[in-house]
A and B are shown apart, each in its own frame.
Chain A
Amino acid sequence: MSTAIKDTQKMIEEVLDAYPDKSKKDRAKHLAANDPSGQCSTCQVKSNVKSRPGVMTVRGCAYAGAKGVVWGPVKDQITVSHGPIGCGQYSWWSRRNYYNGQTGIDTFGTMHITTDFQEKNIVYGGDKGLDAALHELKELFPLAKGIGILSECPVGLIGDDIEAVSKRVAKEFKYPIVPVRCEGFRGVSQSLGHHIANDTIKDYVLGKGQLDTSTPYDVALIGDYNIGGDAWASRKILEEMGLRVISQYTGDATLNEIAIATKAKLNLIHCYRSMNYICRHMEEEYGIPWMEFNFFGPTKTYDSIRKIAAKFDEKIQKNAEDVIAKYKPMMDAVVEQYRSKLEGKKVMLYVGGLRPRHTIGAYEDLGMEVVASGYEFGHNDDYKRTYPELKEGAVIMDDATLYELEEFTRRLKPDMVGSGIKEKYSYHKLGVPFRQMHSWDYSGPYHGFDGFPVFARDMDMTVNSPTWDLIRRKKA
């Protein structure tokens, strides 16, 4: 075992010392020193299991996964937050899944629509009210193409049959009414919500769309939620390669796009964690191959473009080289502009589905090094894909707590941290440069050739802002 690994393991043990015995034993399995070779048996973390009560996990719930990630962005259907008022309120218009359309008329993505459960719904059930609510929505929003019913905790606890209501009303309305059993107590994190939502796509929408023509170059762009326009930036590259993107899952998507993905020749998946399920299903049922790719930072983007092109004919392969040749000078100029200011800076990441591994290359393009990374709701297959991307001895964190994040920051002294809104302001207090890596801190896009310059600019302004120097630190 190398010194780097040993040193990190020692540091982890020190951090764990503060926990009560039971939680210490549990948390020890979720923190590890990285071994890119995969040889070290103690260097792998346990994941996708329950958070300990009371430790202040960063995780959300199944509803958050189903609404915030998979179904929420589908723009021409109405998302009903079915249950009490809060869940829909706190997840309203906050994930920046950009879309084109007239909100409230033909698209509904940034609206908060809820059955607003009262005590009587808990006592007598919510099915009758739901039925009536669906009818009211149909009258008020005649251009909606479907309705998704996202269950909040009480719905599953009181034994409502939203499937029966959905089936009945869908027949009447002649469009999909999709019951999503994403009650927040199910599973251990957002992740189960992704899975449940994927299953409902399969059961209620997939294969039921209309596509008039077909080409050998039809692909679906899966697992891109168009945060700050990410999917549009990725789509631009794919189109320039000569591919026809028939479907976006699910950023800026319509129900028809979701339905016609079965006609793709290849499914391209960016966020593996949240949408591998539907890709596997389409592979098994429709024989559609799928591949993962990474459009963060030029190095990974060139690599991904070539790998995607390799699945097609020479024409596409030539286009791919042309696209790379077209954008390379621009990417080189961006690196030239920022690298000297960011060279050698250390980054700590703690994010969600794909970013803990997918953004590493983009940081490296700028000369930065990721010294710690972790997932809120990753599974074993995510970590397997992450170990080789990080240096030996980097800290791997699964379902980290507020306490751990603070301790690792103190010890690793990163030059910047990328995590979420709940973490952002404690880092501001610490005077540690911070960037939200879920919402791009209201910036973006970060994907593709149009995204990388924005990413580079943002990391520079984060690390090198003069404002940090104004903080008058208390003498220790």
Chain B
Amino acid sequence: MIKIKDHNELFNQPDYQAQFERKKEFERPWPAEKVKEISDWTKTEAYKELNFKRENIKINPAKACQPLGAVFCASGFDGSMPFVQGAQGCVAYFRSHLSRHFKEPFAAISTSMTEDAAVFGGLNNMIEGMENTYTLYKPKMIAVSTTCMAEVIGDDLNAYIKTAREKGAIPEDLPVPFAHTPSFVGSHIVGYDNMLRGILKALSEGKRGEPNGKVNIIPGFDTYTGNYHEIKRLMTLMGIEFTLLADVSDTFDSPNTGEYKLYPGGTPLPDAMDAVNAIGTIALQKYSTVKTMDFIQKEWGQKALTLSPIGIKNTDAFFAELSKLTGKPVPAAIEEERGRVVDAMVDSHPYVHGKRFALVGDPDQLLGMMSLIMEMGGEPVHIVCTNGDKHFEAEANELLASSPFGVNGKVYAGKDMWHLRSLLFTEPVDILIGNSYAKFLTRDTGTPLIRIGFPLFDRHHLHRYPIIGYQGALNLITMLVNTILDELDRSTIDTTSFDVIR
């Protein structure tokens, strides 16, 4: 057998190392001392100040653009085809991005607008796009969002869709909700919100009828398929009939049966249409559902609650409010589950207590993680939220103020991971929590990374484990405490402290 060396080993060999040295003659790199000098300087307080002064450039930001959130949301309805009016590269990027995270296929349509559409508008692209999509891919619904190109030239989706129907490109009765999703406003979480509101508005029109006794659950821009399965399990345990809006769990976690299904599942359209008749709606994220919840409250006249069940206290609040809304008691099984998870947290708390954390991610996940960390005596220190607004900043500060473990915490809304790099040098922490891109911070600063958030490209299956509810809390603290213990092993490996029992 030949021993095969791929890139992981190959380029460490002397022949390649010599090649790299020879190549420098042509590269003309900076002298090694100069590189070291600058590298050291980037770790200083002075560099941090310079870094925090910038206002016109983002460096390694943790946010994506609106239409990504829109196509994600659109894919959570049965037979729904996400359809993006604009230039085609965007859709290629959304599909790649989502597939890299979920390791699942993701279908979405572009109207492939080019120079002529920039001049004349994208009406013809919309009409032909609708006809081709309907004929080839046979959707039950086409959910339209926009790229920045269509937004800058001012394409009028409402009018275009109407024209497409009149021209017979699609049937008169095919639901075609739409949302304008300019990528120069907000981020992917806002796109999710806009698309969901558009879909619910379109589907609920004229559907008001008898109350159906159900509760609507809106997961938000939640990329943990495990969370969808978990919320279904919990609602079933509670004995509450419910509708998930939008249910992406099958879209991004479908069983392998040797066939490729373009539409593997999602919220059934009749259920989504009937959502207007529910007794109330609970959103599991706040910042990705602001406009949708406002719409539900005002237009549907429903009780609209936002309860993000990450951590014990947040999950307690979720069940208390759910129980109040439905009149159903929390069953013993869930109470026992809580007890088991709290028991686990009691067991693990000594390793988390007093540990300093840096966190980067989307607003709702950050708030949940801060809460959970403080519940175990950990200290959130740097909280970076590139797509956080002033409301998030205020809410996060309030949360920090509510616990003695929040006293060292500082919230950085609108900042990016290059800012965080400075912070990790000037005010080091024990643990970093973030998405896969945050691994550059581990490389540069040595801070161990716990991968929570989106996107997670370089570890498999993490998104299949829930992080909401009591079970989710257990999954999170397992990651937390074992990362801390792995780190402890690494740092004590040559000492007597390399213990077998922790």
Contacts and interface: CB of A to CB of B under 8 A. Distances in A.
Interface string B113-129: 11101100000011011
Contact of B110 (A53, A157, A257, A337): A53
B149 A90 contact: no
A248 B63 CA distance: 33
Interface in B459-478: none
Given A86-B67, A89-B64, A453-B4, A184 B149 contact: yes
A254 B29 contact: yes
Interface residues of A, number: 125
Nearest to A190: B89
Contacts of B129: 53-54
B289 to A, nearest CB: 20
Contacts of A133: 56-57
Contact of A113 (B10, B28, B58): B58
B408 interface: no
B161 interface: no
A277 B93 CA distance: 26
Contacts of B26: 211, 245-247, 254, 256-257, 260
B260 A426 contact: yes
B14 interface: no
B19 A232 contact: yes
B237 to A, nearest CB: 29
B437 A402 contact: no
B202 interface: no
A210 B28 contact: yes
A315 interface: no
B39 A422 contact: no
B19 A239 contact: yes
B63 A20 contact: no
B96 A421 contact: yes
A232 B10 CA distance: 10
Contact of A52 (B53, B65, B112, B149): B112
A83 interface: yes
Contacts of B498: none
A231 B15 CA distance: 14
Contact of A119 (B6, B185, B421): B185
Contacts of B87: 61, 153, 184-185
A474 B128 contact: no
Given A64-B93, A337-B2, A473-B257, A421 B56 contact: no
A291 interface: no
B259 interface: yes
Contact of A116 (B10, B35, B61, B107): B61
Contacts of B89: 59-64, 87, 184, 190
Interface in B39-58: 39, 42, 47, 50-51, 53-58
Contacts of B54: 136, 140
Interface string A121-160: 1100000011011001101101100000000111011100
Nearest to A182: B89
B201 to A, nearest CB: 23
A401 B107 CA distance: 11
Interface centre among A23, A53, A188, A247 (most CB of B within 10 A): A53
A393 interface: no
Interface in B54-86: 54-61, 63-65, 67-68, 83, 86
Given A87-B93, A129-B56, A473-B257, A229 B10 contact: yes
Given A18-B135, A235-B19, A236-B16, A443 B6 contact: yes
A166 interface: no
Interface string B5-31: 111001100011001101100111110
| Among A115, A228, A450, A453, residue most surrounded by chain B Cβ atoms (within 10 Å) | A450
B182 interface: yes
B216 interface: no
A471 interface: yes
B115 A185 contact: yes
A50 B118 contact: no
Interface stretch (B97-105, B204-212, B299-307, B489-497): B97-105
B117 A86 contact: no
Given A76-B29, A184-B149, A186-B114, A104 B11 contact: no
Nearest to B58: A116
B126 A53 contact: yes
A411 interface: no
Contact of B152 (A157, A334, A426): A157
B432 interface: no
B131 interface: yes
B187 to A, nearest CB: 7
Contacts of B35: 102, 105-106, 143
Nearest to B27: A254
B93 A51 contact: no
B11 A232 contact: yes
A111 B30 CA distance: 19
Contacts of A229: 7, 10-11
Given A23-B132, A185-B118, A422-B92, A86 B64 contact: yes
Contacts of A115: 56-58
B17 to A, nearest CB: 10
Given A53-B126, A184-B149, A106 B59 contact: no
Nearest to A438: B96
Given A51-B112, A154-B149, A184-B149, A89 B65 contact: yes
A418 interface: no
A55 B91 CA distance: 12
A445 B100 CA distance: 21
Contact of A422 (B50, B96, B114): B96
Contacts of A333: 2
Contacts of B34: 143
Interface in B143-192: 147-149, 152-153, 182-185, 187
B135 A19 contact: yes
A84 interface: yes
Most chain B CB atoms below 10 A, which of A100, A121, A337: A100
Interface in A86-101: 86-87, 89-94, 98, 100-101
Nearest to A330: B2
A403 to B, nearest CB: 5
B95 interface: yes
Interface string A16-58: 0011101100000000000000000000000000111111111
A53 B39 contact: no
A380 interface: no
Interface in B222-264: 254, 256-261
B440 interface: yes
A154 B152 contact: yes
Contacts of B259: 429-430, 473-474
Given A20-B131, A254-B27, A471 B95 contact: no
Given A53-B110, A76-B29, A103-B443, 7 more contacts: A86-B67, A87-B89, A89-B64, A421-B99, A430-B259, A444-B6, A445-B10
7 contacts: A60-B88, A94-B100, A157-B149, A246-B26, A406-B260, A454-B6, A472-B258
Which 9 pairs across A and B sit closest by C-beta, in order of nearness? A61-B89, A86-B65, A54-B129, A54-B132, A53-B129, A473-B258, A90-B93, A84-B183, A426-B105
Interface of B: 1-2, 4-7, 10-11, 15-16, 19-20, 22-23, 26-30, 34-35, 38-39, 42, 47, 50-51, 53-61, 63-65, 67-68, 83, 86-90, 92-97, 99-100, 103-115, 117-118, 125-126, 128-133, 135-137, 147-149, 152-153, 182-185, 187, 254, 256-261, 418, 421, 437, 440, 443-444
Interface of A: 18-20, 22-23, 50-64, 76, 80, 83-87, 89-94, 98, 100-106, 110-119, 121-122, 129-130, 132-133, 136-137, 139-140, 142-143, 152-154, 156-158, 184-188, 190, 209-211, 228-229, 232-233, 235-236, 239, 245-248, 252, 254, 256-257, 260, 330, 333-334, 337, 401-403, 406, 420-431, 443-445, 450, 453-454, 457, 471-474
